[in-house]
Structure 1
């Protein structure tokens, strides 16, 4: 049996470290917890690689970073975090037969070797938004969406669910995912007199959309996908005040409540803690359940992770994989929240 489990950590949001989105501390914390209780007897070594991927960087950068990890003989990779980059890497992951856990929203970025911790979902989020809007009486929807694999995928599933619910998508306006102004697109959407305005995308241009809506006298329902998670840093929450959005953590979840209490984590840190905790548990449990620490051994180990209580999602959400199941979260893992006065509050 391989005496050391080598785990690659891939950061697709920077060219070098330290970088935003780093989950290394959480991975190490969960691995050490299982080492202390004797469930992991091997040493675990973390190897890091950085590549600024899409949309700010390039697909080549993220592929190069991934290949760096593969060349260092890692048996498992954690990352990337952005859906576009997970889609880019999927063929390479399968070709190299290197088990990888992405923590992005792309359901299509799954395979025999590509596992996913769903931090959002291009396919599920539009259904949650459409059903919420229907429940509050919004029938006419105006949509600003990123012209990208993320934005267009969201739009497709929104259109399908709207048709099921009898909602009308009365206007659509595509926008660059890196745009810093959105007056024209917002004017196009509002010109169709919608009951609700939606933003769908990665979120880098969401503040521009919010500013353009605020500058008008329109006062309808405003909602965005998990792009709203960017409100946990910078001025995003202030700019997007009043917008409902899809989050990944719930005030009712006993696992994250206990974790935050034990580590004295403030409410604004709950999402990052929940994400890091769940990702770390998947990695640690995969290593603990592997019969050996080769690539094939860790792939099989991940498939044996079952029914762990998740810190992400509503209470009762579970973590686990299976022989043909590569999506880790099971249950109501998407949570509606709203930015009000700089704070994230649950939508009831």
Structure 2
């Protein structure tokens, strides 16, 4: 087996602020950089005698969609390919994962993207679902049905993320007997949405849904507040933005789809082991699971060629996930490119700047 292997890290997030270049900050991996979490899991397997190769990380940054361009993502991906990496981790935004897919298939580089775009999966594209454009909308519809809502107003980003969510929400709403009373598309970067919200409320909905990347969610929330509308509101994993900045307070009271549960024993064990604060539960769950996928894939690879690493990833199965409800499993398969299996989506709510799990 080769003495070393190169792993590429493709960072496409416009709001990443960097941090300690080693990926560690105050003893904990930086939430915005996945490298530190991967290093932790690689070190654990090295200590266990299962992985003796040196792992070199190669970083590439792209200002991807929606703030940047698809071309920037393609350029960063090709940069990593030319550097000779055997595995790429990223992108983290669904629109950018769709850009990377044809490159992964053409260049035959195993790639683990951590985003909600199920359509980006391929022979060489492995998805670690940080949400799902398809599954989240089903959970949203069922949550609103459990609250007795029958007339929903939907505001969504005019983007592949927003429109894909809407498609699946429409389908599940019909199954549940819920009417989509009104829908309005807005720019993913919109900051003036009062007119769109006013048109939604003219339909007299008993619930409001936001679907998108999340940059336009605070303006939507503020417009609803100004209109005096106080019914239940729910958004997709755009609500994960509440872990940073003023988003949580701007979207106070919103239900949203998260990736961690307070009752997940795997997550609790990791949190205790690294003495992480509660506020970092999502970052810990996500980082641990992605790091474990990478480390286990390398450890199970017959060699560190790109083909060897792809086959190694396919052998990662039935690992307890830190994300999702208790019992969620982590792994891939010969024709299985979705890492998380089971009830990996969790309904939570922002209240007073803090996240609280909603009873299933």
Verify same fold: TM over 0.5: yes
Structure 1 regions of 5+ residues with no counterpart? none
- 1:62 corresponds to 2:73: yes
- What does residue 268 of structure 1 align with? 279
CA distance, structure 2, for counterparts of residue 112 and residue 287 of structure 1:
17
- What does residue 6 of structure 1 align with? 6
Structure 1, residues 75-128: CA drift from partner, whole Å, max 9, x if none?
Answer: 000000000000011011100000000000000010000001000000000100
2:87 equivalent among 71, 76, 82: 76
- 1:244 corresponds to 2:255: yes
- What does residue 300 of structure 1 align with? 311
Report the secondary structure of 2:120's partner residue: coil
Structure 2 regions of 5+ residues with no counterpart? 20-30
- What does residue 155 of structure 1 align with? 166
Q: How big is the shift at 1:21?
A: 2.5
CA distance, structure 2, for counterparts of residue 18 and residue 206 of structure 1:
24
Structure 1, residues 115-174: CA drift from partner, whole Å, max 9, x if none?
Answer: 010000000001001011111100000000000000000000000000111100000000
Report the secondary structure of 2:257's partner residue: strand
Aligned 8 A contact 2:2 2:303 in 1: yes
Matching of residues 99-118 of structure 1 within 5 Å:
99-118=110-129
Q: How big is the shift at 1:268?
A: 1.1
CA distance, structure 1, for counterparts of residue 195 and residue 157 of structure 2:
14
- What does residue 324 of structure 1 align with? 335
Aligned 8 A contact 1:3 1:293 in 2: no
Report the secondary structure of 1:231's partner residue: helix
CA distance, structure 2, for counterparts of residue 88 and residue 139 of structure 1:
37
Q: How big is the shift at 1:340?
A: 0.5
CA distance, structure 1, for counterparts of residue 304 and residue 67 of structure 2:
35
Aligned 8 A contact 2:154 2:182 in 1: yes
Report the secondary structure of 2:71's partner residue: helix
2:270 equivalent among 259, 269, 290: 259
CA distance, structure 2, for counterparts of residue 31 and residue 47 of structure 1:
16
**Greater than 3 Å deviation, 4+ residue runs:** 14-17
TM-score (norm 2): 0.95
Report the secondary structure of 2:118's partner residue: coil
Q: How big is the shift at 1:15?
A: 10
Aligned residue pairs, count: 348
Report the secondary structure of 1:13's partner residue: coil
TM-score (norm 1): 0.98
RMSD over equivalenced CA pairs, Å: 1.2
- What does residue 129 of structure 1 align with? 140
CA distance, structure 2, for counterparts of residue 294 and residue 18 of structure 1:
30
- What does residue 214 of structure 1 align with? 225
Report the secondary structure of 1:108's partner residue: helix
Aligned 8 A contact 1:15 1:50 in 2: no
Structure 1, residues 206-231: CA drift from partner, whole Å, max 9, x if none?
Answer: 00100101111212111000000000
Structure 1, residues 276-297: CA drift from partner, whole Å, max 9, x if none?
Answer: 0000000000000001011000
